[in-house]
Every structure is written in structure tokens, then in C-alpha cells.
A and B are shown apart, each in its own frame.
Chain A
Amino acid sequence: MPIVKYITTDQLLVWVNALIAAQTVYGVQAKEQRFAYDALADAADLRLDFDVTILPPKKFFQPLVETIMKFHVDGHYESVTSEEPFIIFGVHPYDVVAIAQMDEVFRANYADTHYLSRRERATIVACDIQNASPSMFAACMGTATVEDGFDILLTKIGDGYVVDVRTAKGEALLVALGDAPDADAGTLARREQFWDDARRFLNKYLLKCKPTDLPALLEDQYEHAIWEHNAGLCYSCGSCNMVCPTCYCFDVQDEVDWTLEKGTRVRKWDSCMLRDFATVAGGHNFRRRREERYRHRFYRKGQYLWQRMGQIACVGCGRCTTACTAKIANPVELYNTLMEG
């Protein structure tokens, strides 16, 4: 039997504070003029009315800088994996979709224990979108609402939230909630209406084709003038990659401590837009030109990963569009331009 409760906003605050008292809870909070996930100290800091976070929740599964092993220069290596359970509170549907995609990436071929260990210890409390981000096109991408990939889904209806519990992990959190009534049929009907609206209206830009048309669209556009034109404005600063929920490239470096004998192997987020990304030892750069890197990113999103795993590697969050100082990262504008031929 699915568990679908309805709680007031006050109950939500009490519940979250109870969760915080028991374990690590990351939640969406205001940061300057925007929003970011950070450790929650008080439920009052939680902002479920957020539009989009600066960085996606991916940072909890693939940390920006992550120690993956310890070593001694005598050749001894020891794996380091995180075993700490945690809750992420307030994950929008498009990010839920992105997380499912990253799960696939890190599980495929060779399973990545560092990512999977964190992922399996996370409880995801998703939250339907109350405010659209300035550049979003989630409805176009089919990611404005989500059916699965979370443990609990919160939907704001009236003055309270529908709490839709889907997994045992989600159910475990309900203990801290205490008594709450089941959502009644009227509330659930209003939620259906809310979802219908989300699926129709959560767009600030309109993609003129179906997302699944993108691989075929890109088939013939490799030499399109837009690549060189936009790349002329591109800083190769990597901002679009850094904020993307479906980018996962990384670099790995060894760092020794002051013993000069012991140290850590660390992986850090990397970006295919950066100049030296495809440079091999000796200096040959296989993607030397700015437009090659710029084009690569859109092909990877719209075609390459589709070929590998049958998914478009863009969820319509609009983060790249907002993050790009040169204003050339908007996937909708780019793909629409290609459609014009």
C-alpha cells in the first residue's frame, strides 16, 4: 500500500528538525541571490520554494574534490569510500532524472564504488517545482515531474505538503514525522492538476522538437556555422559543465602530505570545455580549437550519451544558460538554431 500523507507547513518544520537531530540532512538554502544545497542546521533555513540550485545535488554523490584512496610511496594503496548515511531534502524532478542517469553511468561497465557507496546511503526527498528557474525548459525535456528515482516526493498543495513515500528508506523517515493524516482524494486530485500544469508550463524556453529527435538532428549539423560563431565568444571557462547535473568528467591527482611519503589520490570535477581537457602527455591536444570543445559538449548531451545509454544527457534545468557569462550555453537556442538548418 503506498503511503501518501498530507502535512501542514508547521509539521514539515518539526519533522525536518527531528531528522536533523538524528542524522546529516542537506537541504536547499538561500545563498546570496540564489540557492544552494548545504548541511541544514535548522528547518527554518530550508527553502522548498527555490527555483534552482547553483550546483546540482550530484555534488553529494560525486563530491567536487574527493579522496578516493590513500597511498604510501612504498606502493601501498588503500581505498577510501564514504559510508555515512545522509538525506537530501528538496530535489527537483529534473535533478531526480539526472541522478538516475548518473547512477547508470557510474554503474555501467565498471561499477564505481565511490559514487555508488554514497548514492546507496542517500535518502532523496524530492520536491515538486514551486518556482521555475529563469532558464528552465524542464517541460520540454519531460522532466518537470517525475515518477520514480526518489524515496519521498513532496508536493505543495494549499498550505501544506503531500508526502508521497515510495521506498523503505523513505518510510524510515516517517518515524520522525509522527501522526499525519493520509492525503484525501480532493488533495490528490489537486496534485494531479498541479502535475498537469507543470508538464505543460514549466518552460522559459521552448525546444522546437522532441528531446528524442536531438540525436537525429545532430547527425547532419557537425559543420554548422553556429559552432565556430558561438565558440568565438566562449571563454572555455567550464561554467556550463560545472553546474550541469549530467556532467561527470573528472581529473585525478596525487597529493603527498608533509611526510613526503604518504598522501591521497584525489579526483576533482573536470570540464570538457577547458583548453587542456583532451591534451595527452607530450602536449598534443586532440580538441585544440575552442569550437571543437564547444561542439563536443552539445553532441555529448544530445547524441553521444544517447548512443551509449539511450538517454538525452540534458534535463532542462537551465543552469548552464544562467551560468554562462557569454550567453552561448542555452541548449534550447542552440538546438533550435540547428533546426533552422
Chain B
Amino acid sequence: MSKPRVAIFDFACCEGCQLQIVNMEEELLDLLTHIEPVEWREAMSESSERYDIAIIEGSITRQQDEERLKLIRSRAKVLIALGACATLGGVNKLANGFDDLNEVKKCVYGDAARMPHLLTGQVKAVSEVVPVDYSVHGCPINAEEFGYVIRCLLRGTTPVIPNFPVCVDCKMRESTCRFEYGEICLGPITRAGCGAPCPAAGMWCFGCRGYVDEPNINGARDVMERYRKTVDDLKSRMALFNTGQEQPHA
């Protein structure tokens, strides 16, 4: 059996998720025994139009990017969204929360806002443009989970991605709840699987893996009151990675 040809493409992002793959070290060699990379800007100079698996990093911000993504999808048998920008729209999606994108650009880039490569429209997650077969969540991705997803794919089975809150991972690590430090933590509504590194390092959960199915947003409101926070505090936290995400009630 010939190795599947894999291409990694980056869109609007910091390319930090690709970097996590490059940083897999020995495991990267294991990975390369099973796949043949044919395009990967951060690791090689070749490019190709022929690939089986396309890995998409970054959010989709411009019309020409949508066209490019659709072309990639048409060429790939399997498409993986890599990292929060691709799976959720990520931090880039914060821009969608403002009425005037030009104002946002001016605020972010100052005078450079007029540069043509900074042209941006409404930000989209990959799944808002083309169908996604697998998602590797996180900002950045967890390289271990990426390896697991790839191995599942190579074995022809579906990866089991947690659909429970980060609190589970956090308790397993015996971290003290960030609410006890008076902070708003998105752990109770965010998908686990990261191993809760942020609370273990003294930070609240930013929600970079997106929400679990049926997050209890009503419950979250009550907790805000209990900890003397406002719903607006909570919303501003949620906006960082989850702008425009559905907030279904339980």
C-alpha cells in the first residue's frame, strides 16, 4: 500500500499549529513512515496539486481564500481542520463582533491597514466553507491528539474526541478551580481533550477547543452571579475563541 499523500495549507493564522507538528520530534519520524508530505510550507519547499489528505490551518477571511479552499477540498479525499482558527474561526473571528471591519483594521494595524494583503472580510471557520472530515481542536493543537487522529485515519476508524468539559481533565490533574481564585474560567463549557494545561499553569480556560455539545449557558449565568461576575464578563471571555458560535440552551 502506498503512503497517503498529505498536504498542509495555511490560511489566516499564526502557523503555530503547524509548528506543533514540526515539533513532534521523534514522533515526526514515525509519522513520516506512514505519510508522504507533498506540500507543507513550514517544513518543505515543494508543492503539489495531487494529495489524499489536506490539512487546513487558519480561518478563512477573504473571497479568494474561499475559492482556494474549495479547490483544495475538490482535490482531497480527506480534509482535516487543524487548530482553533480552522475549527472555530478562532481569535480572528473576534473581528466579526464589530459592525465596521475597517475600524477594526485601523485599530489593529494602524496606518498599515491599507496594505492589500490585510484585506479581510467576515471571518469563517473551515466548516463554514467546505465539509470537514476531522477536526483537531485547540490553540495551539495538542500534538499528541494530532498523532492520535492521524493514526485513527490511517487505521480507517473514527477518532474518539471528548465531548465533555475541561473540568474532567482539570480534576484529573488536581488543579485548583480557577473560580476559587476569583477568575472566570470557560472550562465547564469547553470541550476537554487538551489535558487542561492552562489551569495547571495558573490560567483560566480560554475555550480554545470550542464548546461541548449542549453547554449549560443558563447555568453559567447563575455561576457568574455567585462569583460576583456579570454575564458581560463571561461573554467577553467567550468571544475570544467562540465568537458566533451557537449557544444552545440545555
Contacts and interface: CB of A to CB of B under 8 A. Distances in A.
Q: Are A and B close enough to touch in the complex, i.e. CB under 8 Å?
A: yes
Interface of A: 31-34, 36, 54-55, 64-65, 232-239, 242-243, 253, 255-258, 260, 269, 271, 274-276, 290, 323, 325-327
A260 B172 contact: no
Given A232-B250, A238-B168, A275-B212, 15 more contacts: A32-B176, A36-B174, A54-B171, A54-B174, A232-B216, A234-B216, A235-B219, A235-B220, A236-B165, A238-B171, A256-B155, A260-B154, A269-B172, A276-B164, A326-B226
A326 B250 CA distance: 15
> Which of A237, A271, A275, A323 has the most B CB atoms < 10 Å from its CB?
A237
A238 B169 CA distance: 10
Contacts of B222: 233, 326
Interface in B186-225: 187-189, 212-216, 218-220, 222-223
A54 B177 CA distance: 10
5 contacts: A55-B174, A233-B219, A233-B222, A235-B215, A236-B214
A290 B216 contact: yes
A237 B188 contact: yes
Contacts of B27: 258
Contact of A233 (B154, B160, B216): B216
A33 B180 contact: yes
A32 B215 CA distance: 28
Nearest to B170: A239
Main DSSP-derived SS at the B contact region: helix
A271 B177 contact: no
A256 B177 contact: no
A327 B27 CA distance: 43
B167 A237 contact: yes
B38 to A, nearest CB: 20
A326 B175 contact: no
A276 B163 contact: yes
A238 B167 contact: yes
B9 interface: no
Nearest to A35: B174
A34 B170 CA distance: 14
B175 to A, nearest CB: 7
> Which of B30, B165, B180 has the most A CB atoms < 10 Å from its CB?
B165
Interface in B1-49: 27, 30-31, 33-34
Contacts, number: 105
Contact of B168 (A33, A36, A242, A257): A242
Nearest to B221: A233
Contacts of A233: 216, 218-219, 222-223
Contact of B30 (A64, A232, A242, A258): A258
B179 interface: yes
Contacts of A242: 167-168, 171-172
A64 B171 CA distance: 10
Contact of B189 (A55, A235, A269): A235
Main DSSP-derived SS at the A contact region: loop
B172 A33 contact: no
A199 to B, nearest CB: 29
A274 B216 contact: no
Contact of A290 (B172, B174, B180, B250): B250
A36 B170 CA distance: 13
A34 B188 contact: no
Contacts of B177: 239, 323, 325
A238 B34 contact: no
Interface in B104-161: 147-148, 151, 154-155, 160
A258 B33 contact: yes
B171 A243 contact: yes
B148 A238 contact: no
A274 B166 CA distance: 12
Contact of B219 (A33, A258, A326): A326
Q: Can you list the 5 inter-chain pairs with the closest CB atoms, starting with the nearest?
A: A258-B30, A242-B171, A237-B167, A235-B188, A237-B165
A34 B250 CA distance: 32
Contacts of B174: 31, 34, 36, 54-55
Contacts of A260: 34, 151, 154-155
Interface string B217-242: 01110110010000000000000000
Contacts of A235: 165, 167, 188-189, 215-216, 219-220
A325 B179 contact: yes
Interface string B40-69: 000000000000000000000000000000
Contacts of B213: 275
A54 to B, nearest CB: 4
Contacts of A55: 171-172, 174
A150 B167 CA distance: 31
Nearest to B163: A276
Nearest to B215: A235
Contact of A275 (B148, B163, B179, B187): B163
Contacts of A237: 164-165, 167-168, 187-188
